[in-house]
A and B are shown apart, each in its own frame.
Chain A
Amino acid sequence: MSEDRVKEIEQSAEEIVESFVEAAEGLPIKRETYYSHEVYNIMRPDGEPSSGGERSEFRERFIEIMPGSDEDGNLRVEVARWAR
């Protein structure tokens, strides 16, 4: 996407933000709603990890869709500029 197009889109993105500021004016201050239903302390116990079989199946698929991988199964990504 060209830089100009991005700029255009960015501008049009802000329309509704301005519309929001108008709409929110005069509305009372309330506690923010981050979650539809807030429940606390949903945790899971530590224990036996997942099975190797499931994971090796996923590994195959994961490596298959990688844009680039090495013979050990590492994902190939960019070399850090500062490390060169």
Chain B
Amino acid sequence: MKMLIGFEVHQQLATERKMYCDCPTNYQDVKPNSNVCPICTGMPGSKPLPPNERAVNAAIEIALLFGCEVITDKPIYIQRKHYDYPDLPSGYQRTSLPIGLNGELQGVRIREVHMEEDPGQYDPTLGTVDYNRSGVPLVEIVTEPDMHSPEEARRFLRQLVRVLEYSGKVRPEAGGAMRTDTNISLEGGGRVEVKNINSVKGAYRAIKFEIIRQKSKLERGEPVTRETRAFLESQKITVSMRVKELEEDYRYIPDPDIFPLIIDKARVEAIRASMVEPPYLREQRLVEQYGIEPAAASVIVSERELVDLFEVVAKEIDPKLAATWFRTKLKKVLNYMKLRAADVRFTPKQIVSLLRMVDKGEITPEQGELILRELVRYPGDPHKLLQKLGFKRLRPAELRAAITKVISTNRSAVKDYLAGKEEALHFLAGKVMKLTHGRADPRKIIELLRAKIVGKKRRY
């Protein structure tokens, strides 16, 4: 069934002060309603301070990272977006006109990037509001509905979050820092917006639920009306918000208390010159500079620390080998241990040393992977880890002896192989691996087994 999925992602920018007042932004570390002042609580008569320049620059940089055209030499008004909701202290949210337009990420079009201020934290079940978060600067990224499956949406969202973290301009904390609204429409139905999603996983679940809900409605002949729904994390469902206050007409006006911004080209170029190389450009350069596969480059580039490490390593050792290892084994180990490249503590020298050992054939790739796991846990000299794990180089005689033993104790398997069953060979190889404690290269084992069995054939 055809579906269109889009996102509006909000992420907090890393600043010390809030957007329109000087309250601190560390809202998670303090008592409720203590990082507040008359401005961010909407006291009568309060007026915003001039916008936080660091936030503006961060938004420009993020727009550039997504390949957007930054709006230059034209006034960018900060608008009042009016709606009634308990977490909005002034009854309107200050949101800028777009800072960047027409970007792209992973084939999904980025419609625009703009700045907003965060509302307070409303607990809809307890009925409480904490304004500590109110006024923290946000960047909002709006995509076109270019995703056509929940999996595609999840992949995209993951990548988007990575790029934001890549920039170093967003607040590093998880939990609450990224929020997304998603819109889903199925062919024949209206566009449904789902709010209150705080994680990539949540987005995936919300989308899946919505698809099922909408699909079953359409199958029953019921219309899918355009509406706003909320995602309930704990129950993994969406519910209608049925809140007339969230009506469409926000009655936008330029905020009379804030002068518009005009971004000049010089500012954009200065930011472009000093900013981190955007992932899509870095990917291209890796392919060109190191001659690695685009698919590998794409994976490596997904985490800033990973690609930074790769580029150091690739100077010391064959980049293609490094790329294969980074893309497969290292990623695998990190995922398995639920770590990110930023958490890696071993030095480039150490991993280079390990890769050299593999390259020279001193250890098998499988042994290398095990050492890598150790390396992540206990950073150190890989040679020492090799000894610690008891991986000794297998002498050819030892291997031959193991093969002989396995062949002689598994005659039916040997017969099966001779009868044409390829799997029997792998079964035998497995036995050899076990016997040699994985110290032999499986490819070598297969080679030798084959040779021996075929050789023996003459005897049978």
Contact = CB atoms under 8 A, between A and B. Distances in A.
Direct contact of A and B (CB under 8 A): yes
B131 A75 contact: yes
Given A40-B75, A82-B242, A75 B129 contact: yes
B125 A74 contact: no
Contacts of B53: 43-46
A58 B54 contact: no
A44 B49 contact: yes
A40 to B, nearest CB: 5
A59 B131 CA distance: 11
B16 to A, nearest CB: 5
B117 to A, nearest CB: 14
Interface stretch (B29-37, B269-277, B334-342): B29-37
Nearest to A74: B128
B243 interface: yes
Contacts of B77: 34
Given A45-B53, A58-B38, A50 B259 contact: no
A79 B24 contact: no
B49 A79 contact: no
Contacts of B11: none
A40 B261 CA distance: 5
A58 B36 contact: yes
Interface string A34-53: 11001111111111111000
Interface in A47-84: 47-50, 54-56, 58-59, 62-63, 70, 72-84
Contacts of B21: 50
Nearest to B240: A82
B32 A74 contact: yes
Contacts of A82: 124, 230, 239-243
Interface in B229-245: 230, 232, 239-243
Nearest to B263: A41
Contacts of B35: 49, 55
Interface residues of B, number: 53
B261 A55 contact: no
Given A49-B23, A82-B239, A43 B38 contact: no
B442 interface: no
A49 B15 CA distance: 10
Contacts of A41: 259, 261-262
Contacts of A63: 33
Nearest to B241: A82
B148 interface: no
A21 B241 CA distance: 39
Interface in B98-143: 122-131
B171 to A, nearest CB: 13
B23 A73 contact: no
A55 B18 CA distance: 14
B128 A58 contact: no
Contact of A35 (B24, B52, B240, B256): B256
14 contacts: A35-B259, A42-B259, A43-B51, A44-B53, A46-B15, A46-B53, A48-B16, A49-B16, A49-B23, A59-B36, A62-B33, A72-B32, A73-B32, A74-B128
Interface of B: 15-17, 21-25, 31-38, 41, 43, 49-56, 75, 77, 86, 122-131, 230, 232, 239-243, 254, 256, 258-262
Interface of A: 34-35, 38-50, 54-56, 58-59, 62-63, 70, 72-84
Nearest 3 Cβ contacts at the A-B interface: A80-B124, A46-B54, A49-B24
Given A35-B256, A55-B23, A62-B43, 7 more contacts: A41-B259, A55-B34, A55-B36, A62-B41, A74-B33, A81-B242, A82-B240
